[in-house]
């Protein structure tokens, strides 16, 4: 209340701020939905190798609730030591080099061994220092099985080709022997061999030139 007995009312337009808050909320909701539904596992580590964020799908693979992992290292929750060694070395390298790092590893899950492709990337702060390491881990078990099947098929095909080539060469040798015997006995050659035709053609070309 001012000296004259009037009440001063001040107003401020906060429309822009509310719009920004709503936009940020919608963005956070979209990110949360994406992280929950993407088939890969999303993660974030701090410099002490603690899990800062982990998408829900992780629990389906590890059998460990996400809430039990947040704020802890993989070692502290009982992840196999050899995997902790691999992951920690890779994460530490990203912090040190500020470069991406890719790796593959096998993980025991639900009574079977699954193969995962893990891509790690640095997350920079305002000072251009690496504050966190981000990761996305994708199950490539089916892909690896397909690759193994293709590799096996190629190996079998190569063995077959070598065997077929060997048999073909042996047949050619036998035909040549029969032709040689026919020549010795004054008989016409029984098997016209392609390589012999090529030699005749080459001789004819030489004569015509």
Two tokens, residue 105: 């590893």
Query: What's this model's pTM, rounded to 2 decimal places?
Result: 0.59
**Quick one: pLDDT at residue 44?**
95
Statement: residue 107 has pLDDT above 60: yes
Of residues 121, 145, 147, the one with CA closest to residue 135: 121
Two tokens, residue 198: 């090529």
Statement: residue 116 has pLDDT above 60: yes
- Judge contact between 106 and 115, C-beta under 8 A: yes
- Judge contact between 125 and 131, C-beta under 8 A: yes
- Judge contact between 129 and 110, C-beta under 8 A: no
Q: Output the average pLDDT for the chain.
A: 79
**Quick one: pLDDT at residue 87?**
96
Q: 89 or 11, which is more confident?
A: 89
| Total number of residues shown for the chain | 209
**Quick one: pLDDT at residue 95?**
96
Average confidence (pLDDT) over 2-22: 61
Kindly report the number of other CB atoms within 10 A of residue 137's CB atom.
Answer: 22
Rounded CA-CA distance 97/102 in Å is 13
Give residues with Cβ within 8 angstroms of 190, minimum separation 6: 175, 178, 179, 182
Lowest pLDDT segment from 85-94, 112-121, 191-200: 191-200
Q: 102 or 38, which is more confident?
A: 102
Q: In DSSP terms, which residues pair with 120 in a beta bridge?
A: 101, 135
Q: In DSSP terms, which residues pair with 22 in a beta bridge?
A: none
Give residues with Cβ within 8 angstroms of 130, minimum separation 6: 94, 95, 98, 122, 123, 124
Kindly report the number of other CB atoms within 10 A of residue 14's CB atom.
Answer: 10
- Among 11-15, 24-28, 41-45, 148-152, the range with the most confident prediction by mean pLDDT is 41-45
Average confidence (pLDDT) over 12-35: 61
Of residues 132, 107, 139, 133, the one with CA closest to residue 121: 133
Q: 103 or 163, which is more confident?
A: 103
Phi, psi of 45 (to 5 degrees): -120, 145
């Amino acid at each position: 209340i001012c000296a004259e007995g009037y009440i001063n009312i001040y107003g401020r337009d906060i429309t822009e701020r509310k719009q920004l808050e709503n936009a940020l909320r919608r963005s956070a909701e979209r990110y949360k939905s994406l992280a929950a539904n993407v088939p890969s596992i999303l993660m974030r580590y701090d410099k002490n190798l603690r899990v800062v964020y982990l998408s829900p799908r992780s629990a389906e693979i590890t059998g460990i609730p996400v809430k039990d992992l947040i704020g802890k290292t993989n070692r502290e929750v009982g992840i196999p030591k050899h995997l902790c060694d691999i992951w920690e070395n890779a994460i530490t390298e990203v912090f040190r080099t500020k470069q991406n790092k890719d790796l593959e590893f096998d993980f025991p899950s639900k009574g079977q061994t699954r193969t995962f492709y893990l891509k790690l990337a640095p997350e920079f702060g305002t000072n251009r220092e690496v504050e966190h390491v981000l990761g996305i881990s994708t199950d490539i078990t089916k892909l690896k099985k397909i690759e193994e099947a293709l590799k096996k098929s190629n190996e079998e095909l190569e063995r077959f080709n070598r065997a077929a080539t060997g048999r073909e060469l042996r047949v050619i040798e036998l035909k040549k022997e029969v032709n040689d015997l026919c020549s010795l006995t004054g008989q016409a050659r029984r098997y016209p061999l392609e390589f012999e035709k090529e030699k005749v053609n080459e001789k004819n070309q030489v004569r015509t030139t």
